[in-house]
Structure formats: structure tokens, C-alpha cells
Amino acid sequence: MFTDLFTYSAAEWDAIRLSLKVALLCTLFVLPVAVGIGWLLARKKFFGKAFVEGFLHLPLVLPPVTVGYILLVIFGRNAWLGAFFYEHFGWQIAFSFPAAVIAAIVVSFPLVTRSIRLSIELVDKNYEEAARTLGASNTRVFFSVTLPLALPGVISGAILAFARSLGEFGATISFAGNIAGETQTLPLAIFSSMQVPGQESSTMRLVVVSIILSLIAMIGAEYLNRKILNRKT
Amino acid sequence: MKKVLEFDIRKRLGDFQLNVQAAIGDGITGIYGPSGHGKTSMLNAVAGLVNPDVGKIFLKDICVYSSNKHVNIPVHKRKIGYVFQDIRLFPHLSVAQNLRYGLKKNDMHSLGYHEVVDVLQIEHLLAKKPSECSGGERQRIAIGRALLSGAQILIMDEPFSAVDIHLRNTIIPFLNAVNRRFRIPMLVVSHDLPDLLSLTDQLLLLKDGTIKALGRFQDLLQDEDNIGIMKDAGLYNVFSLKVFASLPQKNMVLLSNEMATFQVQILLQSFLQKFEIGKPVKVLIRPEDISVSLRLVDQISLRNQIQGRIVKIFTRNGLSFCLVDAGEKVLVEITEASKKNMNLEIGTTVYCLFKSAALKIFE
């Protein structure tokens, strides 16, 4: 049934490269925003906080296809934001590589924010207070005390974003489409090859890569977390 | 004495009302009060960690808070060094990084890093993590960290409670050294009076959110109300004396006050370190460990019989006290019965009797 499990075709390599690119870019963009929002939710009280929290967590519970559809409604060529970008910058966002990244960002955002928020909540405020008595401004307190102490949560948040992006399917296929070499990430490529009879070996090769990438991400997360825990105690 | 810190603040915290006014001078000031009577709240307001409802705070003649003039210098610009009860060294930084955290380059007020490390004897810890240091070491590091942040005044919240009970006294020489070497005024808070008295005789008494007294412990003893506040904490007589002479044949050392009007004998073994003539020592003794006699008693093993005159007699919480002027004011606890039997009254000449072993010595 499976003929060659180790020789990858150019199209398969494309899917792998594309998946990694989407996952890395997503992690890169999502992290700073999630740190900011996570801190806000952990440390500040403001009007409508419960509503904001609920809204931010929406992509976590909505079916990803729905998220993709909503993105399409916002960024489609004829939709309001999509039309704006197309007219002023000539960017067509839906069904393009950026759309795949945006879809990954939106679905992974609540996961990352949650992880970071929890770890910031666990940082003892007394350390922040001590830092202020030592002459540190609020910004310095955040970067020299809060963030380093919350680092395990930030790192596991980053890994979550990366892993979630690697596995993203529903929002991507409905918002970015399934365009080989541009938006066809690993899950989409697996789905496509499943549809074609006689492609079992190709499907299996992509599945194996998927498993390996996810494993590396998880083991890496665990390793980093241990390293930080050791450093702290 | 120059006033370093002056404040007049009010703050409501639930049912509790903090209402404190004081002008605090150089040197070490001990803040005593029972737990939950506003000590930490007062310090937090002074440091800027909480805002008073109304009032004003001056630090070295600079207004750092005034509700009238809408002045409120934020914590990180107040130059108040705060050594917290729970110490709070940053766990992710090394000892050296902790010490340098508040260090400002080109700040004329900053103390020398190496000098601070040297005085606090923490050189060997610099590369370690705070978690690898003992409780006493961590406390010294926290003191160093606060000193190096350019603090104009050092606030210490319960510095004796963070270390093991039998290690408590080890922090005292360091606090004295810091105060002497860096000439930095210190506010030391404790609910343990003997601990405070072993460090300083300048006291501020806080109870029910108000300041009941501020001054030398010896002078505070004149007031019955103060004694009432301090009694629960284990009341002590405290004398600042100097080594006057050694009596090697008796295995004793003679201590004396500045004017040589008050002298006590202590056991040579009481000295932990080498002693020399003129060395300052603090001597503590409980009022209940002192007896009074109307005449000198011979044929007795007690080494200390000090003559004085009763200047005050009063009863507090069912206990009778008399204050004896014997060159220093000595507070003695007596029973109502012996007061009557001996006909003790103001002006009576008495001898204060106590064993050398009842004295606590702090070098």
C-alpha cells in the first residue's frame, strides 16, 4: 500500500515549508500582542472586562470554519476591510498567503493569551512592588520582573501558537483556500491527497512529518520549561 | 537632632483608622506596636505604596506627599529603601544582579557597591541565586539592595522575624554597622520589644493607629501609659553602657554608663566576641528579674546591688512597678504586698538587686 515513505515530492516539500512559515510568522505576530493583552487582563480592571474576555475567547469555541467565514466577511475583496486594503494598497488578502497567517493568528490567539495571562497572574505582585521601591518605573518593572517571572507561560504560549498553527485547517481552507504552494499547508495537503485514489504513500509521508513536527515542538517546550524552572529555584 | 522624616497622615482602612504624626531624626528609630495596629500601613504610606486620605510627608525637607498641594511623588522616585518582611529578592536574578537592580550610574548619592558588599559580608554569595542563600544571608542581601538604590532612609519591616529565632541577634551587628558606616537613618519595625531594644533605644510607640510616644526608651518609661503598651511585649530595662574594667580574678567585667554613675557587673563568658575597654554594649534586664532591698545585703551571691532613689510608683494591669533613679532609670516589678510591707514610696532609697546571669548582653 505504501510504496516510498522517504522520498518527498517537490509539492510535499512546499507544503512542509509553507506550514513552518505560517506557524513561525503566526507565533512572531501573536506573541507581543498576547503578552500585552494577557498583562492587561491579569493586572488591570476596566469597564467591560468580562465582555472583552468573552470576545477574545470566541475563536476557541467557535468551529474554525465559522472563524474562516467571518474573516472572509471582513477581508473579502468586496467586504469593508478587504475593499479598503485592495483600493489603497492593492492587497488582496483573502485566498492568499497572508490570509493563511491571519487565520492561524486568530485561532491561536486565545490559547496564547490564556497561557500568558495565567502565568502573569501567578507572578507575585510583591516582587513588582519591591522593584518600584528600588526605583524602577512601571515599564522597567514589567520587562525586568514581571515578564521574566512569567517566561514559562510565555514560552508555552509560543509553542501553543506554533502547534495550533501547524494543525489549523478549517479557518484556513475557508478563508485562505487550498492553493498549492501558497496556502496549502500540511493539513490541507493531507486532506487533498486523501481525496485522490492511489496517493496513500504521499498522505502517509505528510502525516509522518506532521507527527514529527508536533513532537519536536512539544519536546522543545518541555525542555525550555524545565530549563527555566531550574533557573528559578 | 536633625529631623529626617516628618509626616502627618490619615488613612481609613475598613474599620481601622490610621492617624499618625511624627518627626523622626537621624539614627535608628524602633517602631513598636502590637500586630495589627498600623505599623506596616504607616510605613507603606511613607514609602508611597499606599496613598493616605489626607496629610503630608516630608523626607529630608522635600515634600514627597501633600494632599493639599496635590504633591505625590511616586514610589520609584521617593528614594526610600524598603526591606520587606518577606525579603522579596528577585528569584530569577543572581545575588549580584539583585544588588545592582536599583544602582544608578552617576548618582552622587549612591553608596559604593564594594563597600556595601564588604560591610554586609556577602562577597561569597554574589554569584549565587537567592534560593541558595540562608535566611540571614538573604536579609543582608535585601538590605544591601535597598542601600544601593540611592535610598535616603531605610525602612525595615520586622527584620527579626525572617530569621530563625536563635539567629536573630546575628542581624543586629549588621544593622548597627550599616547605620554607622553609611550614616543612613533607619526605621525598624517590630512587634518584639526586646529585639528592638537590642538595636536602639529610640522608640516610637504605635497603638490603635495612633502614635502614643516617641523618644528615648528610658524617658518613655516615665509614662505609665507607655509601660502599659510595652508590658505585653515583655518589658525590659535597657542600658547603653561601655566596658569599664575587667575583674579577671572574679571572672567578671564591669560595665558603666558615660558618667560612671551607674555600674553593673557581668560574667566574662557573656561576651561572644573579644572585648576591650570602652567598647559599647547594650544590657537588657526584665523588671521582674530585679528585686529591691532597703539596705545593702552582704552574704549573698548576687553580684549587682545598685543604690538608687524611687522616683515613681504605680500599678498597671494588677502589677506594681517602681521606677528607681540609680544613675539610670531602672524599672522594677514588685508585688503589692512587698510595696506595703517595705513602705515603699517616692523618695525612698533602695538597692536594686539582680543576678549577673539575668542580664542580656548585646555587643
For A8-30, how does the pLDDT look when each residue is reduced to its tens digit (9 = 90+)?
Answer: 888 899 999 999 999 999 999 99
Mean pLDDT over B345-362 rounds to: 89
Per-residue confidence (pLDDT) for residue B162, from 0 to 100? 64
**Are B81 and A233 a contacting pair at CB < 8 A?**
no
Mean pLDDT over B52-75 rounds to: 94
Pick from A55-69, B24-38, B99-113: least confident = B99-113
Per-residue confidence (pLDDT) for residue B251, from 0 to 100? 82
Architecture of domain B3-231 in this structure: 3-Layer(aba) Sandwich (3.40)
In this prediction, residue A174 has a pLDDT band, given cuts at 50, 70 and 90, of very high
**Residues in contact with B228: Cβ distance below 8 Å, sequence separation at least 6, in sequence order:** B316, B317
**Are A233 and B149 a contacting pair at CB < 8 A?**
no
For A87-141, how does the pLDDT look when each residue is reduced to its tens digit (9 = 90+)?
Answer: 888 888 889 999 999 999 999 999 999 999 999 999 999 999 999 999 999 999 9
Mean pLDDT over B122-146 rounds to: 93
Q: Which residues of chain A neighbour B90 with C-beta distances below 8 Å?
A: 127, 130-131, 145
Q: Which residues of chain B neighbour A149 with C-beta distances below 8 Å?
A: 91-92
Per-residue confidence (pLDDT) for residue A8, from 0 to 100? 84
Mean pLDDT over B216-236 rounds to: 82
Q: Which residues of chain B neighbour A137 with C-beta distances below 8 Å?
A: 76
C-alpha to C-alpha distances, B104 to A128, B78, B162, nearest whole angstrom: 18, 14, 28
Q: What is the 3-state secondary structure (H, E, C) of B165-187?
A: HHHHHHHHHHHHHHHHHHCCCEE
The x, y and z cell numbers of residue A27, run together, are 507565533
Share of chain B above pLDDT 90, in %: 46
**Are B146 and A126 a contacting pair at CB < 8 A?**
no
* CATH number 2.40.50.100 given to B237-362: yes
CA distance B331 to chain A (A): 40
| B224 pLDDT higher than 90 | no
A–B CB contacts, 8 A cutoff, strictly below: 59
Task: Give the CATH number of domain A10-232; options: 1.10.760.10, 2.40.30.10, 1.10.3720.10, 3.30.70.600.
Answer: 1.10.3720.10
Q: How many residues does chain B have?
A: 363
Q: Which of A:147-176 have CB within 8 Å of B? A: 148-149, 151
Helices (H), chain A: 10-43, 49-61, 64-75, 80-89, 97-121, 125-133, 138-141, 147-149, 151-167, 170-175, 186-195, 200-232
**Are B92 and A135 a contacting pair at CB < 8 A?**
no
Per-residue confidence (pLDDT) for residue A88, from 0 to 100? 87
Per-residue confidence (pLDDT) for residue B163, from 0 to 100? 66
Pick from A50-64, A175-189, B234-248: least confident = B234-248
Per-residue confidence (pLDDT) for residue B164, from 0 to 100? 67
Share of chain B above pLDDT 70, in %: 94
Measured CA to CA, the distance from residue B363 to residue B357 in angstroms comes to 16
Per-residue confidence (pLDDT) for residue B301, from 0 to 100? 85
**Are B76 and A134 a contacting pair at CB < 8 A?**
yes
| A233 pLDDT higher than 60 | no
In this prediction, residue A4 has a pLDDT band, given cuts at 50, 70 and 90, of confident
In this prediction, residue B166 has a pLDDT band, given cuts at 50, 70 and 90, of low
**Are A126 and B86 a contacting pair at CB < 8 A?**
yes
Per-residue confidence (pLDDT) for residue B173, from 0 to 100? 81
What pTM value is reported for the model? 0.83
Mean pLDDT over B7-36 rounds to: 92
For A42-56, how does the pLDDT look when each residue is reduced to its tens digit (9 = 90+)?
Answer: 999 999 999 999 999
Mean pLDDT of chain B: 88
Per-residue confidence (pLDDT) for residue B177, from 0 to 100? 86
Mean pLDDT over B300-322 rounds to: 87
Measured CA to CA, the distance from residue A105 to residue A111 in angstroms comes to 10
Per-residue confidence (pLDDT) for residue B309, from 0 to 100? 94
For B139-160, how does the pLDDT look when each residue is reduced to its tens digit (9 = 90+)?
Answer: 999 999 999 998 999 999 988 8
CA distance A41 to chain B (A): 22
Per-residue confidence (pLDDT) for residue B105, from 0 to 100? 67
Secondary structure of residue B79 in the 3-state scheme:
coil
The single residue listed with the C-alpha cell 524602577 is A136
Smallest Cβ–Cβ distance between B92 and the set A130, A134, A231 belongs to A231
In this prediction, residue B47 has a pLDDT band, given cuts at 50, 70 and 90, of very high
The single residue listed with the C-alpha cell 517546550 is A221
| B109 pLDDT higher than 60 | no
Q: Give exposure, B175-209, as e/b (b: 16+ Cβ within 10 Å).
A: bbebbeebebbbbbbbbebbbbbbbbbbbbbbbeb
In this prediction, residue B272 has a pLDDT band, given cuts at 50, 70 and 90, of low
Q: Which residues of chain B neighbour A135 with C-beta distances below 8 Å?
A: 76-77, 79, 102, 104, 149-150
For A198-209, how does the pLDDT look when each residue is reduced to its tens digit (9 = 90+)?
Answer: 888 899 999 999
Q: Where are the domains of chain B?
A: 3-231, 237-362
